Copies of this chain bind each other. A is one copy, B any other.
């Protein structure tokens, strides 16, 4: 069996020294990779482990790490793997930016009130530090998760939804909506307010909207590994 895990966060470059990053640590993906490689190693041939630049990857003979910077890099690599390799499951835990940097500009320029005699200098590889009202204009990024089953309809897919401090019912609703919209087999929903060093509540939502409840990182990883292996 061949599995893809995505973990950590994407980064979108603003200029040569500044980026917008999703602050995911990649800890959950790391634990899932470790559990699969160590506890289910006999059933697994390879794990392609696509990780954000700041996320660590488990070092193991079955794990092939691939460093991913932005959303478009992730899309390219997933498409390549899913259309050219025999992949059985994708565990898509990466925090993917919802937005790409479209343009770096100024408030005056957007409003059409820029003084033509005193234009802001936005050329060069590093943005000037002397602009009064800097504007980073962003546009929606492609929804990579929605393409996974298009590239390979037979693959099993686990989606992830992280929200911040919402009612439990809303968390399950939003997670199940993600599942239906992207033809996921499971979605792991979790809430920043229920994550600390000592616990990590997670809800593995099924197609029929029932869900398993886990209380730690390790329990979540174990449940996802078990369900994925049983479903392939």
Binding site for B on A (CB under 8 A): 14-24, 54, 95, 97-99, 102, 107, 110-111, 124-127, 129-140, 162-165, 192
Q: How far is the CB of A166 from chain B (nearest CB, A)?
A: 8
Q: How far is the CB of A132 from chain B (nearest CB, A)?
A: 7
With A18-B21, A131-B140 given, name 15 new contacts (CB 8 A): A16-B164, A17-B162, A17-B164, A17-B192, A19-B20, A20-B20, A20-B21, A98-B127, A102-B133, A130-B140, A135-B135, A135-B136, A135-B137, A135-B138, A136-B136
Q: Which residues of B contact A164 (CB under 8 A)?
A: 15-17, 124-126
Q: Which residues of B contact A129 (CB under 8 A)?
A: 98-99, 140
How long is the Cα–Cα vector from A138 to B107 in the complex, in angstroms? 9
CB contact under 8 A between A16 and B135, given known A107-B110, A110-B111, A164-B125: no
Are A17 and B95 within 8 A (Cβ)? yes
CB contact under 8 A between A21 and B19, given known A134-B99, A165-B125: yes
Q: How far is the CB of A210 from chain B (nearest CB, A)?
A: 26
